[in-house]
Every structure is written in C-alpha cells, then in structure tokens.
Amino acid sequence: MFKYEKMLEYPINVKKKDLRMAKLLNDQLGGANGELAASLRYLCQRFTMPDGKGRALLSDIATEELAHS
C-alpha cells in the first residue's frame, strides 16, 4: 500500500570527514542543549502551568521540538 523511500532532498557528495563539525552537530541534536533536551524541558514545564492555554502552548512547542530531532 505504501512505499517508503529514504532519499535526501538535496543530494550531497562528501569529500572528506570533518570530525569537529560532527561533534558540533551531535551536541546540537543530542547534547544538553539539543532538540531532545529542549522538548523534554517543555513537556515537564507543561505540568506546572496553571491554565489550559499555557499547557496547550507548551505541548505544541514540545511537539515541534520533537519533530526537529
């Protein structure tokens, strides 16, 4: 029914490895200040909000952060 093809939007050609850039990207995505950590912080703060609008807003932000990672 569905066919999933994992393709890049823009093809790339890697000439050489750049370990310094790889470390920076790894820290940004999975480090202490990365996307996953940010989404978990928003989800935890959601439970302390006194009103429904604040909870909904933090849930939306956390969902968007999860979509980035």
pLDDT tens sequence across 17-63: 999 998 888 877 777 778 888 889 999 999 999 999 999 999 999 99
The neighbour count for residue 39, using CB atoms within 10 Å, is 19
Q: How far apart are the C-alpha atoms of 18 and 12, rounded to whole Å?
A: 14
Q: Residue 45 domain-assigned?
A: yes
Q: Tokens for 20? A: 């310094």
Q: Residue 8 domain-assigned?
A: no
Q: Residue 57 domain-assigned?
A: yes
Domain that holds residue 64: 20-68
Q: Residue 40 domain-assigned?
A: yes
The alpha carbon of 41 is separated from its chain's Cα centroid by a whole number of angstroms, namely: 12
Residue with tokens 């989800």: 43
pTM: 0.59
Q: Residue 13 domain-assigned?
A: no
Total structural domains within the chain: 1
Q: Residue 36 domain-assigned?
A: yes
